[in-house]
Structure 1
């Protein structure tokens, strides 16, 4: 898409969030999570909206499928498990570390060439094991290492500088920015730095859902379809064993889904229906049930989503409440709270 055809960048303002989930205990609402939700029909029309879907927001790792599309378009030759890993936020399992090492080997570089921040594995059990064993943080274990290894691989293939691959002015990052704008349909509002050190482009939640839809519904042979097939075929390589985003893709046939820090979630179906969620306080406990309710609004069979309804609140060791989407999003919420 030519840049002159893009809509203006979303507004940089304090988002006008709405209640999206209630924390119930007994017969009362004990707490409220605020946020924004958008549901798109297969033709791109907004079927449902709640909160502020047009303000600029940071998609965090939910943007990784878009970044991967840009890299595939620029010549990244990965597919299957390794492309899924390049699209993911992995838990730090051995398969994730081995996959990242394989990408680095293909690129002819080493872990020392990575510029992501050293960290312990993201998966809690794995992180605890590393601490017990006295293993230090590493760039390989950090959850974005697959993406960074893929970035280095693409740089070696295109003759781009390796040392500065995270600079927003680097050819790699300008190529990614162009695809972000194309798939979201709007200019980027602001550029900052993500937790892993890579450039982070701000978009609207509406634009993020639009990008997810375009990837999920892409035709065979396109870069978008390669990324979608890799994610759908190998969801645990983009996340980890037992991670909710992988379980969601396993539960809903054809679903493409990606989570991001600070309560961001995208999910899209092969016919172009898509949802995007932003939880204002970044709470994962609200992200999952709100995303599931949004998918039900998109027409997904609620029976497939039942296990993602939200964690129970306990009292005295027994369930006494639940985290539930608000009635505006899920009209059955209070009937089953």
Structure 2
């Protein structure tokens, strides 16, 4: 089987412990000015990559285009990767009920909540993983709502050739301004498109520029209004949108993060190591936004990622 070429990753963030360089996070980053021009690029921003959950705003827009009658909190969770908090589950249950469905219609895998306290609470209570708790259940519920609205089949809604997935692809290609380079299977079972990092940034910027009544505009407005449904308490997406009013942020697995500033600049990053502690990508994306003219002072504390030793701060992450 031929191996696809990986993006040209470059050093972006250094881990410093007690004055000693312990490690380096490699990645790719791109920043678009408010005029849509690439004003910052590290690595090959034009190579195909998988946006993972950073593609969810496009998928949510496709559901709205198809006629899914979602309210703003539901739209935000359709575009989000929720933590499995009780209000998240309640919102998804409501989406399914309004479409005349229940959790059995979901084809995402069963999972535990991403929220640690809720995970521990359920574990102590003898709970088990469910499809509703899976962080992508809102996206799946929105796709199902679209299928019901258009009288499309629901048993095969995750097949790449299904009308709802063809519409997702259409929206992605339209917004990102490029063809999908490859389609894989995401962690939740839905088709996952490969586009360039620059394309991902262009797509988010196109959504931000969309007419007020459009599906794309409604998705981003819902995300801004209900950032707690895009991720959850203590998570970067939610924190960025709360502390930088008017911004839109969406993280993706394996080190992806895309952010649109309220003044029109957009940045997207992909860390080669997946950034499992969710710290390097935040610094890298804020670097890119600042480089193209966005004011990120209000979220400056999110760049101060500490390195701990013996319960004390002994170092930090810093830009290279």
TM-score interval (norm. to shorter): over 0.9
The Cα shift of 1:12 comes to: 4.4
Q: Find the aligned partners of 2:107 and 2:45 in 1 and give their Cα distance.
A: 33
Deviation per CA, 1:236-281, whole angstroms, max 9, x where unpaired? 0111112111110111121011001111000113443100010110
Whether 1:303 aligns to 2:297 is yes
Deviation (angstroms), 1:20: 0.8
- The reply on whether 1:268 has 2:260 as its aligned counterpart is yes
Report what 1:70 is aligned to: 62
Q: Assess if the C-alpha contact under 8 Å between 1:216 and 1:270 holds in 2.
A: no
Distance 2:187 2:309 in 1: 36
Q: Does 1:37 align with 2:26?
A: no
CA separation in 2, counterparts of 1:293 and 1:270? 16
Which among 301, 311, 319 is matched to residue 317 of structure 1? 311
Q: TM (normalized to structure 2)? A: 0.96
Per the alignment, residue 53 of structure 1 pairs with: 45
Residues 222 and 270 of structure 1, relative CA distance in 2, 3 Å threshold: farther
Range with greater deviation from structure 2 (79-88 or 316-325) = 316-325
Kindly indicate whether residue 253 of structure 2 is the aligned counterpart of residue 253 of structure 1.
no
Maintained 8 Å contact 1:213/1:269: no
Q: In structure 1, the residue corresponding to 2:279 is in which secondary structure?
A: helix
> Quick check: 1:116 aligned with 2:108?
yes
Gaps of 5+ in 1: 1-10, 327-337
CA distance in 2, matches of 1:175, 1:141: 26
SS across alignment from 1:202? strand
Report if aligned partners of 1:263, 1:281 keep a CA contact under 8 Å in 2. Answer: yes
State how far apart, in whole Å, the 1-side matches of 2:133 and 2:9 are: 35
Task: Map Cα deviations across residues 105-136 of structure 1 (whole Å, 9 max, x no partner).
Answer: 11101101110000011112211222222211
Determine the structure 2 residue equivalent to 1:289.
283
Q: Does the Cα contact within 8 Å between 1:12 and 1:55 map onto a contact in 2?
A: no
TM-score by length of structure 1 reads 0.91
1:216 and 1:269 in contact (8 A); partners too: no
Q: Residue 196 of structure 1: which of 167, 188, 191 is its match?
A: 188
Deviates more, 1:11-20 or 1:108-117: 11-20
- Counterpart in 2 of 1:244? 236
Instruction: List runs of 5+ in structure 2 lacking aligned partners.
Output: none
> SS at 1:33's partner residue?
strand
CA–CA distance in structure 2, aligned partners of residues 302 and 25 of structure 1: 26
Give the corresponding residue for 1:6.
none
The structure-2 alpha-carbon separation of the partners of 1:267 and 1:290, relative to structure 1 and needing over 3 Å to count, comes to same
* CA–CA separation in structure 2 for the residues paired with 1:295 and 1:261: 20
Computed over aligned residues only, the root mean square deviation of the Cα atoms, in angstroms, reads 1.4
66-75 vs 16-25, which deviates more?
66-75
Could you list the per-position Cα deviations for residues 304-335 of structure 1 after superposition, in whole angstroms to 9, with x for gaps in the alignment? 12211142112333212101221xxxxxxxxx
Question: Aligned to 1:219, what secondary structure does the other structure show?
Answer: coil
* TM-superposition CA deviations, 1:41-88 (whole Å, max 9, x none): 112110100012111110000000011111111212213111101111
Output the CA distance in 1 between the equivalents of 2:75 and 2:310. Answer: 46
